[in-house]
Structure formats: structure tokens, C-alpha cells
Amino acid sequence: MRVLVVNAGSSSLNLRLHGPDDEVEQSADTEPGADLEGVLHGWALPDAVGHRVVHGGTRFTDPTVIDRAVRKELEELTALAPLHQPKSLAGLDAVTALLPDVPAVACFDTAFHTTIPEAAATYAVPKEWRERYAIRRYGFHGLSHGWCSASVAELTGARRIVTAHLGAGASLAAVLDGRSVDTTMGFTPLEGLIMATRSGSVDPGLVLWLTEHEHLGPHEVAETLEKHSGLAALAGTPDMREVLAGAARGEPDAVLGLEAYVHRLAAGIASMATATGGLEALAFTGGVGEHAAEVRARTAERLAFLGVAVDHTRNDTVDGEITAPGAAVRTLVVPAREDLEIARGTRVALR
């Protein structure tokens, strides 16, 4: 089955045409609203289209064939992911208009985390809120965490795995026997680790204080926490490469940004290891996870008490296993391949 994988981001539309053996036959990155007919001209006609959809709520826990009723339900979930769901739906509608007779499947970033136990998924807020507003820890980056953890399990045989998806957005997942049992992102993708422009977790009392005492509006606070915080606020740049270069020069803001990033990251990994009942393998993926060797090395140093240690030569030069000789925990770098996870899910749904 030939599958066209559609990944609609905030500022780009990523297209990958996978052949029957999952080889990438064609690929393109376009801007939203681009002439898709022109982009896809000359490409083979796919047998199916697989779409990355950020939010599936509690209703969608597996890849799902899209029909009118499903499309309507996905739109109704927009309130849970107002910054992301419209982009997913716009990509879906654009490709469907061009390929109306090709079956389409939605693959969800939240689905992998629907196995999280209630104790980990439940916020300590009134039951009425939880039920009326569907408040719970949903988790995100599930397609990446699912692919990464399955790859690590296949390579190492590990049962207790922590995956670190580190990119512009960043999150961790605790994976036990192939199932997510905890994650750092929560009701929204704002919770958890320090990210490029997102704050990660902050005291909710801080938000209340800003609105009450400084009279900042909800939109202003949300905009700042989403787009003007994280590394951008600490180090003056959202780009980890620039942060690392600045820290190497001894620039105070860059040093603080890097140290805060690694502090939160290492603490989060240790917390995830608690959820899995131990740590057998640690995997880094995503743009920062795959390319920032210093972040991996600094994080491993903080986690030495858990048995994590990396071989510095391998850490600087390879994808794959970077474990130091004799280390109790196997550490790996796994290229992010959400496209393969979407293609796999699409085939499963259409069987």
C-alpha cells in the first residue's frame, strides 16, 4: 500500500509519499495554502492518506478512518488544542479536496498516552471540572514517542524505557512494556520541560498573580508563555545551537538557559523512571535530542546515580547507541520518524 503522509505544522505542511516497503518515494515541505496540485504533480497516486492530528481527546485512541462524522468530532476538539487542531484540519481538508476518493486516516499525537494510569492522568481539581471540561493529562508527541520507544525495544529488548523528544516543543514519556505510563505534557502542550519559546511548567499561582496584581489579560499571559518564554526568554534565542555557542563563550544568559534546560530535563527523566519502576534504556530524539551532543552529555552526568553514562566519542559522532562501557542503562539516539509511525497506523486502520 502506497501511503501519503501529511504532517501539518504551525508554519509548514510536510508531505511524504511512502512506497509499499516504506521507502520515501517523494517528499515536499510547503507553506500552508500552497498549490498542492502543483506540488504533487508527477507523484504516484497514493492508496491512502495518513494525517497527523494533534488532539484526539478521549474518544480517539487508535488511528481512525476519516468520514464526515469523524471530521466533525475532530473539529469539536479544537477547544482543547486551539493553536494546533485548526492546522491539522486545514491540512486534512486541503488534501481531501485534491484526493477526494482516496481513503484518509487520522493518526493522533495524544493516542499513545491514553494508556496512562488514572493516578498519573488525573489533576487534583474538583470532579465537576474534570467531568464537565474533560480536564486530564492528555500528553502529546505520541507519534514520536511511540516510534522511538518501539525502535528502542526492538534494538535492546528493554521493557522500561524513557523517551526524550526534544525539539522546538519538548516532552518525555515513560514507556513500560510498550505502553505509555506517564508523560510531561499535560492538558496542553505547555506543561513540562523548558522548550524553545514555551515556558514549560510554572506555578499556576504565578498566572493568577499576574492577572490579579499586574492586570495582564489571559490572552497576553497565554501569548507570552507560549511564544516568548522558554529558551527565548532565558537565553535570548530559541535556537539551542545558539544557546550552546553562547554558553561556550561564557555569556551569562546562555549559561543560565542551558543549565535550567538540563536541570528540568534530568529531573523529568528521573521522574519518568519512577513511573516505569526503573530505567533500562534512555532515548533521545527530535532536533535537539538528535543533534545536541552536549545536552545529552550534561543530562547523562546528572543521571549517573541511575546508571546513565554516555561514551563521549560515540555521543559526538553517531546516531544509535551511545552507552558508555559498563553503564547499567543503555542510552540511544533515535532519528525521529513520525512519518513511518503514521504510515504504519494508516495501514493498520485500513486493514
Half-sphere exposure of 66 (CA within 13 A, CB side): 29
What DSSP state is assigned to residue 323?
Answer: B
Give me the half-sphere count of Cα atoms (radius 13 Å) on the Cβ side of residue 345. 33
**What distance in Å separates the CA atoms of residue 48 and residue 350, rounded to the nearest whole number?**
9
182 given a catalytic annotation: no
- Local structure of 327: helix, strand or coil: coil
Answer for the pair 145, 112: CB distance below 8 angstroms, yes or no.
Answer: yes
Long-range CB contacts (within 8 A, 24+) of 291-300: 291/241, 292/166, 292/240, 292/241, 292/244, 294/244, 295/166, 295/240, 295/244, 295/258, 295/261, 295/262, 295/265, 296/322, 296/331, 296/333, 298/258, 298/262, 299/262, 299/265, 299/266, 299/269, 300/331
Alpha-carbon distance of 90 to 153, in angstroms, equals 35
Which positions ≥6 away from 82 have C-beta within 8 Å?
none
Please tell me the distance from the alpha carbon of residue 257 to that of residue 233, in angstroms, as a whole number.
8
CA pair distance 207, 196, nearest whole angstrom: 20
CB-CB contact of 298 with 262 (8 Å) = yes
Q: Which of 22, 47, 101, 109 is catalytic?
A: 109
Distance (Å, rounded) from C-alpha 54 to C-alpha 293?
A: 29
How far, CA to CA in Å, does 214 sit from each of 211, 218, 224, 233? 6, 12, 14, 19
What distance lies between CA 53 and its chain's CA centroid?
12
Positions annotated as catalytic residues are 109
